[in-house]
Copies of this chain bind each other. A is one copy, B any other.
Amino acid sequence: MTPPRSGAFAAARHALGPVDEWARAETAVHHDRLAKPRGSLGRLETLAAQLAAVAGRVPPPVPRPAAVAVFAADHGVHAQGVTPWPQQVTSAMVTALSTGGAAVNVLARQMGASLIVVDVGVATELVPAPGLVQRKVRTGTADLSMEAAMSLDEAGAALDVGAEVAKQLVGGGARCLVTGEMGIANTTSSAALVAAFTGRRASEVTGRGTGIDDETLARKVRAVERGLARTDLDGEALPVLASVGGLEIAALAGFIVGGAAARVPVVVDGLITDAALLVAAAVEPDVLGYCVAGHLSVEPGARAALDHLGLEPVLDLGLRLGEGTGACLALPVLEAAAKIAGEMATLDEAGVSGGG
């Protein structure tokens, strides 16, 4: 029942190239001419340099409008009692996301960003709704603590969906992509991926997700450990993804590669999308130059993933909701970085000389 492969992920990998390091260096030179002390805008300066490197233009274009894609799927490991939320919450929240009532809808509206929800693996059939894209690969993964979560072919189909969605959104005018997700039990799958790609122990990177007690956490750690024990951790990245990943995580990895191939910045959110970036960067290290870590989730696996990738999060607001909320909140900082580089007067224009 796996849908036929579109080849979008392979095409994105083929199109992908490194960011423009000349544009990054030129942006630093440009910043030093602006009416401010050198380096005094800190992260805004390094973000502007990254945006310039992504676009190959100095000063960088304002990364607006942004497009949020929320990939949704269910997880067979839910059967192990890793969360108190019933699996049906995934489809209920997909409905809330399609009708504008979830947290990330509020933030996307505030930021002037579009939002779509892409079903790549929700366990139940969903009622069509505006903003809901139906691209189900299968009705949820298998239980990763017992067997491979999905086949390599299913993972590939989900990677294709993600890459296609990225290409369509950029083709439709998006100048920045925002990663979002919804899937009850997907912090379990993400913790397994983080452990697999960073070499950390399951107990170090498995957290309380949406809020679980000690007993549930212990079950969650054991599920992650069993999944890892079944998996060839020295092998290639995509079999690891198929073994312990999720359909929305595979789609997100494809989405990240697709966005990078289209030369737009991709803002990653919390643990789940950080895990997807680990997969994407293992396959194509060049994607990292296009990615901004929007925020630091309180989930321990998020810090482990970002440290491994060498990314510094823009925000640290104690969020652990997911959906893309932390990534949306970082958008004004990215816009500010581009606008500062593009709109400020120079020291000469301001008639200022001297200083450090």
- Taking Cβ atoms with an 8 Å cutoff, the residues of A that contact B are 34-44, 83-86, 89, 92-93, 95-96, 99, 101-103, 106-107, 109-111, 210-213, 298, 314-321, 325, 329, 332-333, 335-336, 339-340, 343-345, 349-356
Contact = CB atoms under 8 A, between A and B. Distances in A.
Contact of A41 (B36, B103, B110, B349): B103
Nearest to A353: B86
- State the majority secondary structure of interface residues on A: loop
Contact of A317 (B34, B42, B344, B349): B42
Given A106-B343, A317-B42, A344-B102, A93 B352 contact: yes
B110 A335 contact: yes
Contacts of A211: 37-40, 355-356
Instruction: Please state the number of chain copies in the assembly.
Output: 2
Given A44-B319, A107-B340, A102 B39 contact: no
B355 A41 contact: no
A344 to B, nearest CB: 6
Contact of A336 (B83, B107, B339): B107
Given A93-B352, A101-B350, A102-B350, 13 more contacts: A35-B101, A36-B102, A40-B211, A84-B356, A85-B355, A86-B353, A96-B352, A101-B345, A106-B340, A110-B332, A211-B356, A314-B317, A329-B332
Contacts of A320: 37, 40, 42
Closest 7 CB pairs of A and B: A42-B318, A101-B345, A211-B356, A37-B210, A43-B317, A40-B321, A332-B332
